[in-house]
Amino acid sequence: MTELKENLKRQIVEQLNLKDVKPEEIGDDQPLFVEGLGLDSIDALELIVLLQQHYGIRLAKAEDGPIVFRSVNTMAEYIEANKK
Amino acid sequence: MHLAVTHYCRISGNCIYKDGQQLFEAKDRTFDQFSEDAYRHFHLNYPKFHKMDNLSKLGLLASDILLKNNKLEHTIRPEQIGVILSNQSSSLDTDVKYAGMVKSGVASPAVFVYSLPNIVIGEICIRNGIKGENTFFISDRYDIPSQVNYINRLFENEVFDACIGGWLELMGERYEAFLYLAMKAEKQQLPHTVETIKKLYQNL
């Protein structure tokens, strides 16, 4: 799980072009949107692409997005629960 | 009251000029590297810059340098500031990148949102709190008479009191930005005419 979270942080920084953020600076439970990393709606779409591209997981229900993408912890839990 | 050109900025050949003075140069750098160098040199401090396509990066850099120390928002209502730009290649640089992504099977939404030329105007407006009239024209070359006359007509009809005008072209490593700020003025130090803009554009 720790390795998965580290990979996720690196992939988030790369995929979203967060050039002023280092992967190790992202807390496991830090909110990704608004007050946390300050991601926006386009970033949310990029995170959906990230899940498909790196983990082969399609977000089944769009309304799950805010829960799944709340933090690195919630993303990692979703990947663990849905990996093939 | 007349419309006068108060500042102008040019970015080309890895150099940045404002009001005829060279402010920055980064030789032997790609546009990606050059724009990143300029971002840090001018302390833009705007993380969204890194997510933009190259046309928007070019426009944001040029407009930031053009408006630096201008306090436009303190003197003119945001609704009375316009942005009228033009170029030759539209958003083709990003369109080609996006088409390549579609072919490879992984298309990025963050790239797709920049596949229109007027997105750069939106980025300039968001950054500077501008809410006035805006249009992006596409033409084979910088049609100065058409743009100047269009801006002057909007000014005469009181659509705006200030306007960012100019040429913003980018395709691959070939790029050129020429932006100017025209504002309502009682004395015409540099009148907003076809002759003035031709002179500023061609002399730089």
Query: pLDDT for A3-62, tens place per residue?
Result: 999 999 999 999 999 988 999 999 999 999 977 788 888 999 999 999 999 999 998 888
Residues of A in contact with B108 (CB under 8 A): 46, 49
**B76 inside domain:** yes
Contact A41, B51 (CB under 8 A): no
Number of domains chain B is built from: 1
**B38 inside domain:** yes
Q: Is residue A80 left, alpha or beta, with left meaning phi > 0 and alpha meaning psi from -120 to 50?
A: alpha
**B154 inside domain:** yes
Contact A49/B113, CB-based, under 8 Å? no
CA-based nearest distance A20→chain B, Å: 7
**B62 inside domain:** yes
Helices B144-156, B194-203: axis angle to 10 degrees equals 130
**B79 inside domain:** yes
Question: CA-CA distances (angstroms) from residue B183 to A74, B10, B165, B177?
Answer: 51, 18, 11, 20
Quote the ipTM score: 0.80
Q: What is the number of alpha carbons within 13 Å of residue B40 lying toward its C-beta? A: 9
Residues of A in contact with B51 (CB under 8 A): 16-17, 42
Query: Running DSSP on this structure, what letter comes out for residue B8?
Result: E
Q: Which CATH number do you get for residue B55?
A: 3.40.47.10
Q: How confident is the prediction along chain B (204 residues), in pLDDT tens digits per residue?
A: 789 999 999 999 999 999 999 999 999 999 999 999 999 999 999 989 999 999 999 999 999 999 998 777 678 999 999 999 999 999 999 999 999 999 998 889 999 999 999 999 999 999 999 999 999 999 999 999 999 999 999 999 999 999 999 999 999 999 999 999 999 887 768 999 999 999 999 976
Question: CA-CA distances (angstroms) from residue B2 to B26, B42, B85?
Answer: 38, 32, 20
pLDDT of B72: 75
pLDDT tens sequence across B148-196 = 999 999 999 999 999 999 999 999 999 999 999 999 887 768 999 999 9
Domain spans in chain A, listed from the N-terminal domain onward:
2-82
For residue B127, give the H/E element and its range: helix B119-128
The architecture (CATH level 2) of A2-82 comes to Orthogonal Bundle (1.10)
Contact A49/B109, CB-based, under 8 Å? yes
* Alpha-carbon gap, residue B131 to B79, rounded angstroms: 5
Query: pTM for the complete prediction?
Result: 0.91
Exposure string for B114-149, b = 16+ CB within 10 A, e = fewer: bbbbebbbbbbbebbebebbbebbeeeebebeebbe
Contact B50/A38, CB-based, under 8 Å? no
CA-based nearest distance B54→chain A, Å: 13
Please state, as a whole number, how many other Cβ atoms lie within 10 Å of the Cβ of residue A16. Answer: 21
Nearest residue of chain A to residue B113 (CA atoms): A42
Contact B47/A16, CB-based, under 8 Å? no
**B99 inside domain:** no
Interface size, chain A vs chain B, as Cβ–Cβ contacts under 8 Å: 28
Domain that holds residue B180: 2-90+117-203
Contact B55, B88 (CB under 8 A): no
